[in-house]
Chain A
């Protein structure tokens, strides 16, 4: 966690003062695993003392009173009654302690808020045995304490309950405690872990697995421009564990978040290497016009490339959902905020962590096509059906052709090629390596990480006689990050962060979706593929040979280089008032993309049968020249921030404050007018907390954006929130069932300036020189003249979208925090949505300027339930999250439809409309029924096997007026994840199921269901699911209309219940099994821990989509089939030393 953290408070009462005698290295490291992160505390806290002649014990009490430090010591090795004098004025703790221990053998180690007093003595010592009078029989208890990954935990406090007798575990996690009463209870506690109590029932060896206190009361969470204690947070915030991020080997962070956080809904539309990131929404979509993407911040600075950060570099990820949490982002916070915090150094010896994994990847599912025989046979059948409209039936394939296809006796002229098997391979590989080190001293702390990720696509490496290109897709990424913290003086510190991501994408020049489209739609009889190294074309149907497309388009190499560097200065202003700090940040971001393309049209051959029955291959093209081109783009962004933090406690009152200024400028040649894009703003926050019981918070964003006119450019975005920790009230009954209850609520306003449309919308209507018209006489004075066209109209009154967000939530923990339930209900009303006037008439002759007219409401709820328990040594946990977000367009200046059910207002944004299918026309009697509604489509030529559409308005016609809302938008309204896992000794496992519902998918090709248009291939399921009289008679499942071979059949393939498919799915998203080695051998090798694991992603999917169609993949109009999503099976290990 970063040094910007301003609020770090640890409760003192739970820590027992104990002597520590071993190195605390691993201890520190493990603290960092979860959200606990207190490393920076000592630099921010200064003390002023004038203590004359007090005992050491009294000095310690003073320190504890005036700060959040906790002193841990052993009275045997420390003379607590020694008198000392301490003078300090805004000095940090080290100065004070140095005075206290001057001339003694004692020294100290500071770890966050903990100060452990040590001596040169190295014996483990039992504390305070004299206070324990023994009457019962006593035993010696020993054992090992580990975390859930079976990593030994050093420095765990093992205490006999009700006494001060205890010991710390050693570096291997072992402890041995003598003279323990037989019926005593041992308490195992460790910062960041849940405290465990074990009743002795005669056993002398007790191994304990401590669980991470991920949702414990001691945690802090990252919020906008700071951190807060989880217990006193009043906003709606969700965090994901780091462990989950590195668990699945994903190229893109967004994919690791799926199913892990309440409030986050994600879909993965593409699967291609280097381009398979998920689209994420926080609490769904709040606007129908502007951007719905959340704001992404990495280490406090807006990021445009968060997906390519190495997960091993990440300390934690938080999403901010309600106004209270996002108001500080003002004009950019309305869609929620995703915060990523990277790891930082910790004081101590360097700890190296090496991770490596290798995976095999494969497509989840692929569309299977008919063989040439089946295809040709059904083609004729489709034509036979079409003859009802076309009037005549001429088979496309003769019986002889079909027989050739069946027997395969003429592989050149009657081929049956499965293009997927020619162009795709069944599996490919992916690997990832990361090595990082973190450590530090009083002066410098560091975290340095290097990573490499390599993903290979699933194309076949096709070789022909002349193609020099490797058509395989490859994605390589190199990650580098170094985060340094310098304590320049006691008050002044500097953080220096540098990171770089270098990506190299190579592959065919032609887009993969275009290639996939042709691969699946090229008919099997098009060509035998490659014969003797030659690409053969037999028929010139559809759009050519996919091999030709793949190789002939050439090869592209795109390298992208992202560089981020930032410097932050922190200065303590304790001498002005205690708890005040100032800071400033300068950051620079750079993106350089270089595209190279190489291409040379490949030769194709057409076979000819010669008289002697031999085959000659004639080249079809002239030799093409080699073409090379190169292009590049460079973007850069600067960011400056400075501000003040204030944090102080007065008795039971805690107050914090924050105020900061920031500005940024993005230079991107693709921006309109080629002028940079700027933001500027001020952030303020004040929190108040009484005894951790009554919580209040005020957040303010005041910021501006270039999109609006001076005077309308800046806005205030305030948010208020209150919290009440009921369980801390004196009247709250002490009980074992409900341990913690917090109720919180927030209300506030946030903005969105990415409201669609061009930049500088406030400026007067612009004219452009687009058209031209010629005057003059042909042959002499004829000339084109430039015409100036009235362009987009400006609107000086425009302003941002304003989201009014309300959130009510409760956190309730049961049974000693074994079950934690977090519930949130939210309502967001967004207005000022930029709306293109639709009710203006065409008489205006131009699109009138957009107005802030739109209104939308988005509401929903989230539930998170976590359960952790253990049965003996078997520890298990279940985590579940559920998010529901539903929006309604309240106003969008819509022209009222003739039939009100067709109005888009009042419905969900993106609601699909279509004809409602009631079933099929199954017999000619039904078709010729005089009372059947007449179809305006296809000239009312309907036949058995066609859909029976519902005549919604009862006018006896099926036409566009009968389109009704069908299904849901393409982004799910409901998303949920359930994960569970457990560990036993060195073994651990976890499983994540993730699902979504209330979603409709319109698959990528409208005619996927049908085949044959323009001689396309046909999916294998079509004959099995289509209507035939026989299948109807036998009552088999029928999902598709009768076969059809020509575009003339439009009637069945309107937007309807079949083309708008239910995209509900459930996936086994991730499953993992791991083993942690823990033995002396490793120790000899200086390895502190080693874990090997195997996991898989997207292993199973349940959905009602047709085979080969992924419930997450759609395409917008005009696109092609996306590269299918993949699954991975991954093996890896992690070593720390």
Chain B
């Protein structure tokens, strides 16, 4: 007994001091079996891998509202509020800071977030999306027992989504770092910016590969996945941007000494426009094989609205499916109107924008600077797309608000929408008429729709070759389905350009195009575009029995555009890490 205990104690002490003592302690501290999911689990079967493909869409499709910092929250406003289309009513939305010229590398949005708020809140999300795409490209090959073609299609989707994220950065920043694999602790993660050209070529490479790998059409159950057409359209849009004056120039908007190749090509080549035109043409030619058509069968006063109101219609090449159905309280919460249900803000449309709507005969509408007494009449003369886009005085919103009362002194039930309605209009687009407090509706957000390809084609062709018949024809297809006449014959290249830019702003209104079109055209500094006065109208009801309204234009906001805003700044927190060259002016 005595000896035994001595032996035990000595053995105990010795084993502690010996090197293998951890083994002696057994497996008491091992993690008990649990529900671990690792990368190996994900890429062990097609079903699991498909969840990761879904994840690529979740993070990689840009969200319903393009500059939101979260994927599916409702905190931000449309980019339309930063250009001459509109303004956001709620004062805390970021468009006000943008329009006041307060954007900077340490731009702060809220008073509590004094530090390091990146001007582009989705910057980090995009890199996460790119990481996901790189992970998939790296690992998808090992997934066993996949159905034929599955792996190629997964890769095609990854390539397309990676290109999409890169394009979103290209248009905001110019050239950005190119990351081709998921970075780990031991990798060099201070990758410098690639040149503008390298970034464009990288996007084009991904688009070309994706177009080869992706199907023309998915089965209906997979509607919403990237198709060959989506890859082609992204390529066309990329080339259009690349050919545009902001980048396709030897005279950059500002000088970035030694690094002008980051913010543009550094020279002008007219052939870039031809490339853009060819790519757009390729989309148009592809469309029938993808089952994609312009909506022309709903009548000239309804074709246009049908495209944004009816989900999964034939004109959509690729739509975001981030948002499920929602009732008015959620659906309208912030992009629409405070006072409608529980809306927080509202996109109030400017008179600057309304004046872009031509009359039915294709001539500009006249708006007297001193106002007038014939508002209903003015509206009735406009392009039918006005009624299908804008909520104006007397227009139908939905069953709850059948006739909006936006005049001074209007009373319930539609007085609340007057609050903050600086422009005298609200935007109706993307808020379906069927959506009420009790009826949930799907909202459709386009990434690409076919009409864009026609306008891209017309613009690029005009720039490359002048107003050739094909350019006229492309415009004709778009305008005629909304009952608008063709452009007058015999326009010069410049005249055609001006008409086309107007047409593009009308057709693609509130679709996240105009802000970046203004940038790539370098017209932001023009009075009334992103600089200077934003006009609204005050509306007055005329004495009964007249049903007419008077209107008086007034300036509701004066904006400042700093030339440096043509490209966004990188956040100071990233600049401080000393691997990025900041864009000029910041």
Binding site for B on A (CB under 8 A): 573, 575-576, 582, 644, 659, 661, 663, 673-676, 678-680, 682, 684, 702, 704-706, 710-711, 713-714, 760, 763-769, 771-790, 795, 837, 839-846, 848-849, 851, 895-898, 936-937, 939, 959-961, 963, 1050, 1053-1055
Interface centre among A781, A842, A898 (most CB of B within 10 A): A842
* Inter-chain contact A773/B35, CB cutoff 8 Å: no
Instruction: Report A-chain residues with C-beta under 8 Å of the C-beta of B142.
Output: none
* Inter-chain contact B127/A845, CB cutoff 8 Å: yes
Q: Is B290 an interface residue (CB 8 A)?
A: no
Complex-state Cα separation, A411 to B177, whole angstroms: 68
Contact of B574 among A575, A779, A841, A1053 (CB under 8 A): A841
Instruction: Report A-chain residues with C-beta under 8 Å of the C-beta of B130.
Output: 845
Instruction: Report B-chain residues with C-beta under 8 Å of the C-beta of A582.
Output: 5
Instruction: Report B-chain residues with C-beta under 8 Å of the C-beta of A706.
Output: 29-31
Contact of B16 among A702, A787, A843, A898 (CB under 8 A): A702
Can you offer 20 A-B residue contacts whose CB atoms are under 8 A?
A673-B32, A674-B34, A704-B25, A764-B38, A765-B39, A768-B37, A771-B54, A772-B58, A777-B221, A784-B324, A786-B54, A787-B54, A787-B57, A787-B58, A788-B42, A790-B135, A841-B574, A845-B132, A848-B184, A939-B100
Task: Given A767-B41, A842-B127, answer yes or no on A680-B9 (Cβ-Cβ < 8 Å).
Answer: no
Instruction: Report B-chain residues with C-beta under 8 Å of the C-beta of A849.
Output: 185
Interface centre among A713, A789, A897 (most CB of B within 10 A): A789
Task: Given A765-B39, A843-B179, A896-B576, answer yes or no on A576-B222 (Cβ-Cβ < 8 Å).
Answer: no
Per-residue CB proximity of B177-214 to A under 8 Å, as 1/0?
A: 10100111100011100000000000000000000000
Binding site for A on B (CB under 8 A): 2, 5-6, 9, 12-13, 16, 21-22, 25, 28-42, 48, 50-52, 54-55, 57-59, 61, 71, 100, 102, 106, 108, 111, 114-115, 123-124, 127-132, 135, 177, 179, 182-185, 189-191, 218, 220-225, 311-312, 321-322, 324, 442, 572-574, 576-577, 579
Instruction: Report B-chain residues with C-beta under 8 Å of the C-beta of A573.
Output: 5
Complex-state Cα separation, A360 to B57, whole angstroms: 63
* Inter-chain contact A710/B221, CB cutoff 8 Å: no
Complex-state Cα separation, A776 to B221, whole angstroms: 4
Instruction: Report B-chain residues with C-beta under 8 Å of the C-beta of A842.
Output: 123-124, 127, 574
Please give 17 more A-B residue pairs, beta carbons under 8 A apart, in addition to A771-B59, A845-B132: A679-B29, A682-B16, A711-B22, A766-B36, A767-B41, A776-B220, A788-B55, A789-B55, A789-B58, A842-B123, A845-B127, A895-B573, A895-B577, A936-B102, A960-B108, A961-B106, A1054-B114
- Name the residue on B nearest A571 (C-beta): B5
- Name the residue on B nearest A708 (C-beta): B29
* Inter-chain contact B223/A776, CB cutoff 8 Å: yes
* Inter-chain contact B115/A781, CB cutoff 8 Å: no
Complex-state Cα separation, A1049 to B145, whole angstroms: 63
Q: How far is the CB of A790 from chain B (nearest CB, A)?
A: 7
Q: How far is the CB of B315 from chain A (nearest CB, A)?
A: 14
Instruction: Report A-chain residues with C-beta under 8 Å of the C-beta of B572.
Output: 898
* Inter-chain contact A675/B29, CB cutoff 8 Å: no
Closest 3 pairs (CB-CB, A-B): A845-B131, A778-B311, A787-B55
Instruction: Report B-chain residues with C-beta under 8 Å of the C-beta of A939.
Output: 100
Q: How far is the CB of A751 from chain B (nearest CB, A)?
A: 14
- Name the residue on B nearest A643 (C-beta): B12
Instruction: Report B-chain residues with C-beta under 8 Å of the C-beta of A961.
Output: 106
Q: How far is the CB of B560 from chain A (nearest CB, A)?
A: 11
Task: Given A711-B22, A788-B42, A896-B576, answer yes or no on A845-B37 (Cβ-Cβ < 8 Å).
Answer: no
Instruction: Report A-chain residues with C-beta under 8 Å of the C-beta of B221.
Output: 775-777, 781, 783
* Inter-chain contact B12/A714, CB cutoff 8 Å: no
Task: Given A841-B574, A844-B183, answer yes or no on A678-B42 (Cβ-Cβ < 8 Å).
Answer: no
Task: Given A773-B58, A775-B223, A960-B106, answer yes or no on A844-B22 (Cβ-Cβ < 8 Å).
Answer: no
Contact of B39 among A661, A764, A959 (CB under 8 A): A764
* Inter-chain contact A767/B34, CB cutoff 8 Å: no
Complex-state Cα separation, A766 to B31, whole angstroms: 14
Instruction: Report B-chain residues with C-beta under 8 Å of the C-beta of A844.
Output: 127, 131, 183, 189
* Inter-chain contact A841/B190, CB cutoff 8 Å: yes
Q: How far is the CB of B92 from chain A (nearest CB, A)?
A: 9
Instruction: Report A-chain residues with C-beta under 8 Å of the C-beta of B225.
Output: 775
* Inter-chain contact A704/B324, CB cutoff 8 Å: no
Complex-state Cα separation, A787 to B185, whole angstroms: 25
Instruction: Report A-chain residues with C-beta under 8 Å of the C-beta of B25.
Output: 680, 704, 714
* Inter-chain contact B576/A843, CB cutoff 8 Å: no
Contact of B51 among A644, A769, A778 (CB under 8 A): A769
Instruction: Report A-chain residues with C-beta under 8 Å of the C-beta of B179.
Output: 843, 845
Instruction: Report A-chain residues with C-beta under 8 Å of the C-beta of B218.
Output: 775
* Inter-chain contact B5/A680, CB cutoff 8 Å: no
Contact of A839 among B71, B127, B131, B577 (CB under 8 A): B577
- Name the residue on B nearest A937 (C-beta): B111
Q: How far is the CB of A262 from chain B (nearest CB, A)?
A: 34
Instruction: Report A-chain residues with C-beta under 8 Å of the C-beta of B29.
Output: 678-680, 704-706, 713
Instruction: Report B-chain residues with C-beta under 8 Å of the C-beta of A779.
Output: 311
* Inter-chain contact B114/A771, CB cutoff 8 Å: no
Instruction: Report A-chain residues with C-beta under 8 Å of the C-beta of B573.
Output: 895
Interface centre among A573, A782, A898, A959 (most CB of B within 10 A): A782
Instruction: Report A-chain residues with C-beta under 8 Å of the C-beta of B13.
Output: 659, 684
* Inter-chain contact A765/B191, CB cutoff 8 Å: no
Q: How far is the CB of B359 from chain A (nearest CB, A)?
A: 36
- Name the residue on A nearest B185 (C-beta): A848
Complex-state Cα separation, A896 to B6, whole angstroms: 59
* Inter-chain contact B189/A843, CB cutoff 8 Å: yes
- Name the residue on B nearest A675 (C-beta): B32
Contact of B38 among A676, A765, A777, A780 (CB under 8 A): A765
Complex-state Cα separation, A784 to B325, whole angstroms: 12
Instruction: Report B-chain residues with C-beta under 8 Å of the C-beta of A895.
Output: 573, 576-577
Instruction: Report A-chain residues with C-beta under 8 Å of the C-beta of B189.
Output: 840-841, 843-844
Contact of A788 among B30, B48, B191 (CB under 8 A): B48
Complex-state Cα separation, A702 to B25, whole angstroms: 11
* Inter-chain contact A771/B28, CB cutoff 8 Å: no
Instruction: Report A-chain residues with C-beta under 8 Å of the C-beta of B223.
Output: 775-777, 781
Complex-state Cα separation, A573 to B1, whole angstroms: 10
Instruction: Report A-chain residues with C-beta under 8 Å of the C-beta of B132.
Output: 790, 845
Instruction: Report A-chain residues with C-beta under 8 Å of the C-beta of B190.
Output: 841
* Inter-chain contact B9/A659, CB cutoff 8 Å: yes
Instruction: Report A-chain residues with C-beta under 8 Å of the C-beta of B59.
Output: 771
Task: Given A773-B57, A786-B51, answer yes or no on A897-B576 (Cβ-Cβ < 8 Å).
Answer: yes
Task: Given A714-B25, A843-B183, answer yes or no on A675-B34 (Cβ-Cβ < 8 Å).
Answer: yes
Complex-state Cα separation, A679 to B28, whole angstroms: 8
* Inter-chain contact B9/A644, CB cutoff 8 Å: yes
- Name the residue on A nearest B31 (C-beta): A760
Instruction: Report B-chain residues with C-beta under 8 Å of the C-beta of A937.
Output: 111
Instruction: Report B-chain residues with C-beta under 8 Å of the C-beta of A705.
Output: 29
Complex-state Cα separation, A937 to B107, whole angstroms: 11
* Inter-chain contact A841/B35, CB cutoff 8 Å: no
Complex-state Cα separation, A662 to B16, whole angstroms: 13
Task: Given A663-B28, A704-B29, A765-B38, answer yes or no on A780-B16 (Cβ-Cβ < 8 Å).
Answer: no
* Inter-chain contact B128/A845, CB cutoff 8 Å: yes
* Inter-chain contact B2/A576, CB cutoff 8 Å: yes
Instruction: Report B-chain residues with C-beta under 8 Å of the C-beta of A848.
Output: 184-185
- Name the residue on A nearest B40 (C-beta): A764
Complex-state Cα separation, A787 to B225, whole angstroms: 14
Q: How far is the CB of B213 from chain A (nearest CB, A)?
A: 18
Complex-state Cα separation, A702 to B61, whole angstroms: 52
Q: How far is the CB of B96 from chain A (nearest CB, A)?
A: 11
Task: Given A714-B22, A843-B127, A1054-B114, answer yes or no on A898-B31 (Cβ-Cβ < 8 Å).
Answer: no
- Name the residue on A nearest B179 (C-beta): A843
* Inter-chain contact A673/B127, CB cutoff 8 Å: no
- Name the residue on A nearest B575 (C-beta): A898
Instruction: Report B-chain residues with C-beta under 8 Å of the C-beta of A659.
Output: 9, 12-13, 16
* Inter-chain contact B114/A1055, CB cutoff 8 Å: yes
Complex-state Cα separation, A790 to B106, whole angstroms: 29
- Name the residue on A nearest B5 (C-beta): A576
